[in-house]
Amino acid sequence: MIIKGNCLIIISGPSGVGKSSITSKLLSTCKNLDFSISYTTREKRPSETNNDHYRFVTKEVFDKLIQENAFLEYEEVHGNYYGTPIAPIEESIKFNHSVLLDIDVKGAYSVINTNHFDCVSFFIRPPSIQTLKERLISRADMSNDEIKGRVLEAKKEIIKSVHFDHLVVNDNFDDCFMEIERVLQSV
């Protein structure tokens, strides 16, 4: 699939809603879509590699990048910092590519309101809070307290979904993906 170029495609929603699965499939099906790899100060999960999902850095390195104005946006989320680097986005835009951002709700809101780039934003919502909680538990990479915190944050984030262009419920992955694909083909 070829999509409109020179655009940011934002995939956002609560932790555990399926953003990474959606972004992986989009990247494998869209020829002119590049992935924005965020910087983070959080610990790497066993399933992750550096420069694949994130660029894992120390707080000191992150602070230096802030001072250099290297980020389109950055936020503190769940006690860690996350930032979207601007240089790779600008490079992709030069080649008429669009850039996919898989970012938290705070970061997405910041990008939507910067007016630096055209963007299409998707808020991915779980079918229910209980389903989200079950998904977080099944990942088996967080403590019970962390899961409780993520569920509380998800409730707050869902309220902010009104600020996004499109709300898509991820009850069935294939249906959710087809809806996102349909929207991207019509842009």
User: Considering the domain boundaries, does residue 2 fall inside one?
Assistant: no
Share of the chain above pLDDT 70, in %: 100
Cβ distance 73 to 110 under 8 Å? yes
pTM, to two decimals: 0.91
Neighbour count for residue 51 (Cβ, 10 Å): 9
For residue range 18-46, what is the model confidence (pLDDT) as tens digits?
Answer: 999 999 999 999 999 999 999 999 998 88
What pLDDT, on a 0 to 100 scale, did the predictor assign at position 77?
Answer: 82
For residue range 151-180, what is the model confidence (pLDDT) as tens digits?
Answer: 999 999 999 999 999 999 999 999 999 999
Share of the chain above pLDDT 90, in %: 79
φ/ψ (deg, to 5) at 78? 50, 35
What pLDDT, on a 0 to 100 scale, did the predictor assign at position 139?
Answer: 86
User: Considering the domain boundaries, does residue 104 fall inside one?
Assistant: yes
User: Considering the domain boundaries, does residue 16 fall inside one?
Assistant: yes
Q: Report d(CA 9, CA 185) in Å as an integer.
A: 12
Q: What is the CATH number of the domain that holds 177?
A: 3.40.50.300
Q: Is pLDDT above 90 for 55?
A: yes
Number of domains in the chain: 1
Q: Report d(CA 16, CA 34) in Å as an integer.
A: 23
The amino acid sitting at 38 is: S
Cβ distance 164 to 108 under 8 Å? yes
User: Considering the domain boundaries, does residue 177 fall inside one?
Assistant: yes
Give the confidence band of 78 by pLDDT, cuts at 50, 70, 90.
confident
What pLDDT, on a 0 to 100 scale, did the predictor assign at position 8?
Answer: 96
DSSP helix/strand/coil, 142: coil
What pLDDT, on a 0 to 100 scale, did the predictor assign at position 163?
Answer: 94
Cβ distance 68 to 52 under 8 Å? no
User: Considering the domain boundaries, does residue 132 fall inside one?
Assistant: yes
- Under DSSP, the state recorded for 160 is G
Tokens of 49: 């590699």
End-to-end Cα separation, the chain, in angstroms: 13
Q: How many angstroms separate the most distant Cα atoms in the chain?
A: 45
Give the confidence band of 84 by pLDDT, cuts at 50, 70, 90.
very high
Structural domain boundaries, residue 52: 7-186
Give the confidence band of 130 by pLDDT, cuts at 50, 70, 90.
very high
User: Considering the domain boundaries, does residue 97 fall inside one?
Assistant: yes
User: Considering the domain boundaries, does residue 1 fall inside one?
Assistant: no
User: Considering the domain boundaries, does residue 109 fall inside one?
Assistant: yes
Q: Report d(CA 172, CA 16) in Å as an integer.
A: 14
Q: Given the structure tokens 């680097």, which residue do they identify?
A: 85
